[in-house]
Amino acid sequence: MPETPDDILGDAGYAAIELVGRTGASNLEIGYLHDGVPIEAAGWWAHAQYKGARITAEDHTSPAAALEALARRLLTGAKCTHCRGLVALTDRGALAYATSTLVDGTPWNVDQARQAGQCRWQRVGRTWKRGCE
């Protein structure tokens, strides 16, 4: 019996698609690099397009894994649009890059991240939930 989109994407894939939409991406693509190999060896990738910038997650074992990696990449080093805290994906705290530019063009450095506090995000079923909800 063929797999359904629910089987292929699972909750993680659907949560990532929803998150990419919430971040304002103009496009989302999912694909693979290698034909004629088992699905887990196909080299799955996912990327989101933003005003001339493309954020990519590459070389994963399934479409769901590529989408989950893309979601985590988008959230790592980001700030919550609601509380303005640095997004933390684990209880150990958030990861901040020394100097970066947010997708909206805003400069973001470690001192700003420290002052912003943290917002613990987690995936709950088919959506990513912010800790400040």
Q: What DSSP string runs through 36-50?
A: SS-GGGS-EEEEEEE
Query: What pTM, to 2 d.p., does this model score?
Result: 0.87
Structure confidence by residue, pLDDT tens digits, 37-85: 999 999 999 999 988 889 999 999 999 999 999 999 999 878 898 998 8
Q: With bands split at pLDDT 50, 70 and 90, how would you rate the model's confidence at 20?
A: very high
Average of per-residue pLDDT values in the chain: 89
Q: How far is CA 7 from the centre of its chain?
A: 20
> CA-to-CA distance for 43 and 33, rounded, in angstroms?
5
Structure confidence by residue, pLDDT tens digits, 80-100: 989 988 899 999 988 777 777
Residues 6+ apart with CB under 8 A from 51: 26, 103
SS3 of residue 72 by DSSP:
helix
- What are the structural domains of the chain? 1-75 (3.30.160.20), 79-133 (no CATH)
pLDDT tops 60 at residue 1:
no
| Percentage of residues of the chain with pLDDT beyond 70 | 95
